């Protein structure tokens, strides 16, 4: 049995925004029944150009359904420009993570979003020719390249987990490896990115940021938070003082605490409240 987070299970059992919007501003269909998962995604904008409604229909496993549900929740309220920056990592993060082998479900969500935005912008006819690399699952060269770049993939197995490419007959494995080598060659030719932060340093920086940047602001309103644990990029905190009984505490955690930690420690951090 897969190790799904509670949030994946919750969005699978109680998916949000199931259905299809009539006369949508953006629409996309990705995947196929042969591949084992497919998604139809639609959205509609309000008068200010923000997504007021997003809906999905999915044929797929629990993580495919949960990823689609998460996508609709994430993009609601965003402008098309903001939505175009949503990545598959955002979808996976929203769900508290997905098993590695299921990351392709989050990628399917992002692909649907890209395609729906292209529809909205009228770009659908301008698609440049893209070579299909994996015949079994119809995955193209550009899709593989994008997944490698966006998710820092380095192995064939990871590419399969994120795109399904190479998960069938295996004939395309050499071609996928060539793409990996080429993209990694490009990446390595560029300036060296910021070194990966050690766990120890990450936790220290989180503690310092909470002490120096976050706690003083919360205390002004009689509130506080306590760092409970750091699991990967999940920062588990407990609310204290006025924050513990505040109905808007969740917003504070997301819009203030998480934003500050992402800005000053690591952009991938996700703040989650635990009851303690």
Interface residues with another protein (CB under 8 A) are 9, 12-13, 15, 18, 29, 33-40, 57-65, 101-102, 136-137, 160, 164, 167-168
Is residue 246 among the annotated active site residues? no
Rounded Cα–Cα distance for residues 250 and 247 (Å): 7
Of 8, 21, 30, 35, the catalytic one is: 35
- Distance in Å, CB of 59 to another protein, minimum: 5
Please provide the DSSP assignment of 185-237 as one string: HHHHHSPPPPPPPPHHHHHHHHHHHIIIIIHHHHHHTTEEEEEEEEETTEEEE
Q: Which is nearer to another protein, 29 or 224 (CB)?
A: 29
Q: Which residues does the annotation place in the binding site for Fe cation? A: 35, 61, 105
Give the separation between CA 42 and CA 39, rounded to whole angstroms.
10
**CA 137 – CA 36 distance, rounded (Å):** 9
Residue closer to another protein, measured from CB, 65 or 148: 65
Cβ nearer to another protein, comparing 4 with 120: 4
Residues marked as binding for [2Fe-2S] cluster? 134, 136, 169, 172
Determine the number of helices (DSSP H) and then strands (DSSP E) in the chain.
Answer: 13, 8
Residue 108 C-beta: closest distance to another protein, Å: 12
Task: Give the nearest distance from C-beta 71 to another protein in angstroms.
Answer: 14
Between 168 and 241, name the residue whose CB sits nearer to another protein.
168
Angle, CA 93 vertex, CA 91 and CA 94 arms, to 5°: 65
For the annotated catalytic residues, the residue numbers are 35, 105
């Amino acid at each position: 049995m897969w190790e799904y987070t509670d949030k994946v299970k919750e969005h699978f059992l109680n998916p949000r925004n199931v259905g299809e919007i009539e006369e949508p501003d953006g629409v996309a269909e990705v995947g196929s029944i042969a591949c084992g998962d497919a998604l139809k995604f639609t959205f509609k904008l309000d008068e200010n150009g923000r997504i007021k409604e997003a809906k999905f229909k999915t044929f797929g496993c629990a993580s495919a359904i949960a990823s689609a549900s998460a996508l609709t929740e994430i993009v609601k309220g965003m402008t098309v420009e903001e939505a175009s920056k949503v990545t598959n990592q955002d979808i996976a993060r929203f769900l508290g993570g997905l098993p590695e082998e299921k990351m392709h479900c989050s990628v399917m969500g992002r692909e649907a979003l890209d395609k729906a935005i292209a529809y909205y912008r009228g770009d659908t006819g301008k698609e440049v020719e893209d070579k299909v690399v994996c015949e079994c699952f119809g995955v193209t060269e550009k899709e593989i390249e994008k997944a490698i770049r966006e998710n820092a993939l380095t192995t064939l197995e990871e590419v399969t987990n994120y795109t399904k490419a190479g998960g069938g007959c295996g004939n395309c494995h050499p071609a996928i490896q060539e793409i990996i080598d080429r993209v990694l060659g490009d990446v390595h030719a560029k300036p060296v990115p910021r070194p990966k932060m050690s766990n120890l340093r990450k936790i220290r920086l989180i503690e310092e940021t909470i002490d120096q940047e976050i706690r003083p602001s919360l205390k002004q309103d009689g509130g506080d938070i306590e760092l409970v644990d750091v699991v990967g990029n999940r920062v588990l905190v407990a609310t204290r003082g006025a924050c513990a009984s505040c109905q808007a505490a969740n917003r504070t955690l997301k819009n203030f605490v998480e934003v500050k930690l992402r800005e000053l420690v690591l952009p991938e951090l996700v703040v989650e409240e635990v009851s303690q």
